[in-house]
Amino acid sequence: MQALIGTGVALATPFKNDLSVDIEALIRVVNFSIDGGVEYLVILGTTAENATMTHDEKELVIQTVIGANNGRLPLVLGVGGNNTQEVVNELKTRNLLDFAAILSISPYYNKPTQEGIYQHFKAISLASPIPIILYNVPSRTGSNVLPKTVLRLANEFNNIVAIKEAAGDLEQAMKIIKDKPKNFHVISGDDMIALPMVFAGGSGVISVIGQGFPKEFSEMIRLGLNRKVDAANKIHYFFMDCIEMIFEQGNPAGIKHVFHSLGIAQNTVRLPLVKVDESLALRIDEFVKKSNKLS
pLDDT higher than 70, residue 295:
no
Residue 224 lies in a domain: yes
- Residue 173: predicted pLDDT: 98
* Candidates 40, 58, 118, 135; catalytic one: 135
**Does a structural domain hold residue 156?**
yes
Active site residue 164: yes
Q: Is residue 250 part of a domain?
A: no
Residue 25 binned pLDDT confidence (cut-offs 50, 70, 90): very high
pLDDT score for 1: 55
Identified catalytic residue from 40, 58, 118, 164: 164
Whether the predicted model's global pTM rises above the 0.85 cut:
yes
- Identify whether 293 is a catalytic site residue: no
Domain-located, residue 287: no
CA-based end-to-end distance of the chain: 30
Q: Is 272 part of any domain?
A: no
Considering the domain boundaries, does residue 268 fall inside one? Answer: no
The predicted-structure confidence for 241-292, as pLDDT tens digits, reads as follows 999 999 999 999 999 999 999 999 999 999 999 999 999 999 999 999 998 7
Which ranges of the chain would DSSP assign to H, the alpha helix?
23-36, 55-69, 84-93, 114-127, 138-141, 147-156, 170-179, 194-199, 214-225, 229-248, 253-262, 278-290
Which of the pair, 97 or 293, is modelled with greater confidence? 97
- Of the two residues 97 and 294, the one the predictor is more confident about is 97
Query: Residue 31's domain is classified under what CATH number?
Result: 3.20.20.70
- Quickly state the pLDDT bin for 110 (edges 50, 70, 90): very high
- At 294 the pLDDT is 59
pLDDT band at residue 177 using 50, 70 and 90 as cut-offs: very high
Q: What is the rounded average pLDDT of the residues 103-119?
A: 97
Question: Into how many domains does the chain fold?
Answer: 1
Q: For residues 214 and 209, what is the distance between their CA atoms, to the nearest angstrom?
A: 8
Question: Is 267 inside any structural domain?
Answer: no
Does residue 292 fall inside a structural domain?
A: no
Tell me the mean pLDDT in the region 161-187.
97
The 10s digit of each residue's pLDDT in 28-84 is: 999 999 999 999 999 999 999 999 999 999 999 999 999 999 999 999 999 999 999
Range of the domain at 212: 2-229
